[in-house]
Amino acid sequence: MSTAVTPPGNTNGSAVAEMRPVTVPDFLSARSRGVRLTMLTAYDYTMARLLDAAGVDGLLVGDSLGMVVQGSDTSLAVTLDEVIYHTRLVARGVRRSLLVADLPFMSFQVSPQQALESAGRLVKEGGAHAVKLEGGVRSAAAIEAITRCDVPVMGHVGMTPQSVRRLGGFRVQRDEKRILEDALATQQAGAFAVVLECVPAELAQSVTAALTIPTIGIGAGVGCDGQILVAHDMLGLFDDLRPRFVKQYADLGPAIVRAAETYCREVRDGSFPGPEHSFR
């Protein structure tokens, strides 16, 4: 088994960090090697460094930053410049993870040329290894234009957050014909992987079987080739939206509140800073 992706059961962060970087070919060969891919979002240097050291195979600078970082109700207001900025921060903390950056709303829909130029900026200015964009059939021309210039593309079908207004909210998508067509179009256009979001587990498994590129599930069951979660959801840092598909692996939000409360109390009662925190 290649050491480019996290070996099962390996929890030694320092050992994982010494492995060679994860590449697009590693993603493409993961299924044949029996490796399940792991992805999480990251938006800054500190979080990227920690998640990278944990052995996460891919880090996504998602336009979900509009919600979990900027506090908006959707991701629609996120700009390309903002994604470039956050990608640059994450790139400084990455040693081995494949770094994927989102093409935000209206940065690729106008034309294939616009999509190519936006993708190029994410790579040149942000330091992304690959880009991700939403839509299947409707985005095929954009994917083709980007991949022709050797920029790897990850697709995204099913529940596409940039379509939230048309869909009437963040809803499970059950149109089997459309989702399969979108996934196949994404593959045919040259994408190296595709995210399946909020689709029934059985459907996601069928789509995965129909594709040769890996599927990365979020709310799509265990039949995908890998999984992705928003790190803030997984760590208990963001509770404005609680999707059913999120498993919370830590409850850091309340821990941070308690730490800040203790700090405030000690400052107010004069116990911090103590002599050990002061200079003579």
CATH of the domain at 123: 3.20.20.60
**Does residue 42 sit in helix, strand or coil?**
coil
Does one domain contain both 87 and 102? yes
**CA neighbor of 243 nearest in space, from 180, 207, 198:** 198
Domain around 171:
13-249
The Cα 115–Cα 111 span in angstroms is: 6
The Cα 127–Cα 95 span in angstroms is: 12
The answer to the question of residue 88 being in a domain is yes
The answer to the question of residue 124 being in a domain is yes
Does one domain contain both 106 and 166? yes
Does one domain contain both 185 and 110? yes
pTM value is 0.92
Does one domain contain both 264 and 235? no
Does one domain contain both 218 and 87? yes
Please check whether residue 212 is in contact with residue 204, taking contact to mean a CB–CB distance below 8 angstroms: no
Q: Structure tokens of 157? A: 């079908």
Please check whether residue 204 is in contact with residue 214, taking contact to mean a CB–CB distance below 8 angstroms: no
Does one domain contain both 54 and 135? yes
Q: How many structural domains does the chain have?
A: 2
Name residues of the chain where pLDDT drops below 50. 1-4, 6-17
The pLDDT of residue 143: 98
Q: Structure tokens of 1? A: 């088994």
**CA neighbor of 123 nearest in space, from 195, 76, 61:** 61
Largest alpha-carbon pair distance within the chain? 73
The answer to the question of residue 167 being in a domain is yes
Render the burial of 258-276: b for 16+ CB within 10 Å, e for the rest.
eeeeeeeeeeeeeeeeeee
The pLDDT of residue 18: 53
The answer to the question of residue 202 being in a domain is yes
Half-sphere CA count of 265, side-chain side, radius 13 A = 6
261 annotated active-site: no
Does one domain contain both 72 and 136? yes
Looking at the DSSP bridge assignments, the partners of residue 118 are none
Question: How far is the first Cα of the chain from the last one, in angstroms, to the nearest whole number?
Answer: 56
The pLDDT of residue 49: 98
Please check whether residue 138 is in contact with residue 162, taking contact to mean a CB–CB distance below 8 angstroms: no
**CA neighbor of 235 nearest in space, from 46, 104, 72, 57:** 46
The answer to the question of residue 121 being in a domain is yes
Catalytic residue among 82, 197, 202, 266: 197
Strand ranges for the chain from DSSP E:
37-41, 58-61, 98-102, 130-132, 153-158, 193-197, 215-218, 226-229
Does one domain contain both 85 and 191? yes
